[in-house]
Amino acid sequence: MRTHWIIKGALALLVFTPLALAQEEMGEAPAGQDMGIPKPAKELARYKALEGCWKGKGTVAPEPGAPAGEWTSVTETKWGYDGHWLVEKTVISMENMPKLMFKTFYGWDAEQHKFVSYGIGNMGGVCKAEIDWLSDGRMLTTNQMIEQGHRVVDSGLCTWGKNECTFVMKRSIDGGDFFVHVKGTMEKVDAVELPAVDNAFPMPTPQPEMKRIAGMVGDYQMEATMIMAPGTPEMKISATEAVSLKFDGSLMLFKSTGDPAPEMGDFVYHGLGAMAWNPNENRYDMIYINNVGEGGLYHGHWLADQKALVMSFAGTYHGQPCVNQGTTYCDDAGKVKGCENYMIIGTHEPYRAFKGTYTPKRQG
């Protein structure tokens, strides 16, 4: 029979993506046998140069002509999510400045056939960047954003030698000429000391919009039904969902752990989502990744009169145009009570792909 694996992700994911993880032709496989869960993409081998622990130093200039300040850094980079994402954790120190912490997830976008990264940090935002590997082995990262009201384009180029890396990031502000924003070197070391928790080094004052959804924080048991694709039978799924605030409330983190299922053998689903308020676009932005290689960036809004958070995505799904809208409903205390997800794929009519209920777990 033809089976489409669809696993729901964190509360972050539950409103977003009943995406098919794999599509395999197979017979009735016994419990514990490989059931078509995607393996890490072979393209991920390009990231091997980033693995390990690093100490860095260099300079940063905030704008053209401004004096450059010095910085130092420690970085730990290792594979996570069953080998689908290379997770990089970096802490940067500068004189008379709060420490900066960044967590970056490097992966392969199988839908778009390109390298990609997603990031979070203690400055309160989430981001997505595109990555290109040049013919000479250097890694080019490009990103555009709004920073303190200015439109910014960053282009970073990394070059690896034996146990060392040099990089230069050039920046354009409001369409101006590119200038050297950051440059430095990194040396590979045996180990580094990093904070034990992601809540270290909070920076900004949380946006009021983050306080608005703070009631969602908690641990939940999720029970849901899903329809994998138009015309396919409904299936039941369940998971534990943990929602927390990081960096003094400027970032909301979602972690999902699927409940074991005999038909899935030893596979256990893990998903991570991170959401922050984007004041420039007047919306919530969310990134997510999981241990089947999926990742994405979603945008959303809070509907106060309905106590609902609506997130949406438009792109492609197995090469077909796709629109995905998920709504998370909260009770009067702000706790999550339910969620629905609707999809349009290709020329199919809209259909409800997911409906779930959420029960807060008792503490202690």
Higher pLDDT residue, 301 or 148? 301
Query: What ranges in 69-223 are assigned the alpha helix state H?
Result: 208-212
Q: What does the alpha-carbon distance between residue 253 and residue 341 come to, in Å, rounded to a whole number?
A: 20
CA dist 229 → 52, 128, 343 (Å): 40, 28, 9
Average pLDDT on 46-59 reads 96
Band (260; pLDDT cuts 50, 70, 90):
confident
Structure confidence at residue 31 (pLDDT):
37
Say if CB 307 and CB 284 are below 8 A apart.
no
- Report the C-alpha gap between 198 and 161 in whole angstroms: 30
Distance CA(349)–CA(43), nearest Å, equals 35
* Per-residue pLDDT band at 26 (split at 50, 70, 90): very low
Please provide the average confidence, as pLDDT, over all residues in the chain: 85
Helix (H) or strand (E) holding 20: strand 20-25
pTM, entire model:
0.87
In whole angstroms, how far apart are CA 148 and each of 6, 174, 267, 362? 40, 11, 44, 42
Strands 336-345, 320-330: pairing kind: antiparallel
Paired residues of 57 in beta bridges: 72, 185
**290: pLDDT strictly greater than 80:** yes
**Whose CA is closest to 205, among 110, 277, 300?**
277
Point out the least confidently predicted range of 2-11, 152-161, 184-193. 2-11
Distance CA 107, CA 130 (A): 10
Query: Are the C-beta atoms of 128 and 112 separated by less than 8 Å?
Result: no
CA distances from 128 to 69, 162, 190, 260 (A): 26, 29, 29, 31
Residues in the chain: 364
pLDDT at 141: 94
Handedness of CA 306, 287, 260, 342 (dihedral sign): positive
Mean pLDDT of 34-44: 83
Per-residue pLDDT, 194? 86
d(CA 183, CA 57) in angstroms, rounded, equals 9
Which of the four pLDDT bands, split at 50, 70 and 90, describes residue 315?
A: confident
* pLDDT at residue 125, rounded to an integer: 85
Give the separation between CA 18 and CA 81, rounded to whole angstroms. 18
What pLDDT sits at residue 13?
43
**DSSP reduced 3-state for 35:** coil
pLDDT higher than 90, residue 342: yes
Is pLDDT at 15 greater than 60 in this prediction? no
pLDDT value of position 231:
81
Give the pLDDT of residue 203: 64
Q: What pLDDT is stored for residue 200 in this prediction?
A: 60
Region of 273 (left: φ > 0; alpha: ψ -120 to 50; beta: rest) is beta
Alpha-carbon gap, residue 310 to 284, rounded angstroms: 10
DSSP per-residue letters across 97-132: S--EEEEEEEEEETTTTEEEEEEEETTS-EEEEEEE
